[in-house]
Amino acid sequence: MPLPNRSAPLQLHGYFDLTCPDCKDTWGPLKAALAEFNSAQIGFTMHTFSLANHRYGFTAASGAHAAENAHKDPFAWMEAMFANQDKFWDEPTDNLTGTQVFELFGQVAEDAPGLRIPKDEFVAALKSRPVNLATRTTWKLGCANAVSNTPTFFANGARFAADDTWTKAQWVQFFNQVLSQ
């Protein structure tokens, strides 16, 4: 998958709520399409953007920053969250305390391939001021860009209408169109 390369001719920015099922559905085809290109062609930046209607969206978003602060790949956290997303919806967490939910996030980080961050360390990071501020900053960036739903995408600064129904082929076609201009 392309790394954030600020000099690539196509700059793709995606805003994801890691507890949003539409984001989960979008990620597979998008990831597969990105794999068809290299970082000299596409620079991809994932921004977390928690929606108010997803109870643990902010905490999940904080996990990406906690992973990055632990020198781990935030995309590994994204993958882990999408694989475990249903554990953080309303019904499964209704009878859990906040502490239990944080421990559940910690367990995901500890078990996730590419992360393996000790649960207690991850939970402490989730509650830390630097992670909280980083998560708020990414959310504010989304607000400044008029993001109000997820997933939301920008190509070279222009918002475009892509959603969870796009296939790998549609993403590849879009990328090729932009790159040919």
Question: Angle between the 98-111 and 74-84 helix axes, to the nearest 10 degrees?
Answer: 120
| Domain of residue 68, residue span | 10-180
Cα-to-chain-centroid distance, residue 117:
18
Domain membership flag for residue 2: no
The predicted structure's pLDDT at residue 2: 42
- Tell me: pLDDT of 6 over 90: no
Amino acid 163: pLDDT: 85
- State the amino acid at position 81 in one-letter form: M
- Residue 26 lies inside a defined structural domain of this protein: yes
| pLDDT higher than 70, residue 94 | yes
Q: What size, in residues, is the chain?
A: 181
Is 4 contained in some domain?
A: no
Q: Is position 3 within any domain? A: no
CATH code of the domain containing 100: 3.40.30.10
Whole-prediction pTM value?
0.93
Tens of pLDDT along 100-112?
999 999 999 999 9
Helix (H) or strand (E) holding 106: helix 98-111
- DSSP per residue over 81-96, as a string? HHHHGGGGSHHHHTTS
Confidence band for 1, pLDDT divided at 50, 70 and 90: very low
pLDDT tens-place string over residues 116-162: 999 999 999 999 999 999 999 999 999 999 999 999 999 999 999 99
DSSP code, position 56: T
Give me the pLDDT at residue 3, please: 57
3-state secondary structure at position 159: strand
Buried/exposed code over 144-174 (b: 16+ C-beta within 10 A; e: otherwise)? ebebeebbbbbbeeeeeebebebebeebbeb
Average pLDDT over residues 153-175: 96
The DSSP code sequence of 61-79 is: HHHHHHHHHTT--HHHHHH
CA angle in degrees (0–180, nearest 5) for 79-32-50: 40
What are 83's two structure tokens? 């694989």
pLDDT, one tens digit per residue, over 52-86 is 999 999 999 999 999 999 999 999 999 999 999 99
Structural domain count of the chain: 1
In a domain? residue 88: yes
Beta strands at 42-48 and 10-16: parallel, antiparallel or unpaired? parallel
Q: Is it the case that residue 4 has pLDDT exceeding 80?
A: no
Instruction: Round the average pLDDT of the chain to a whole number and report it.
Output: 95
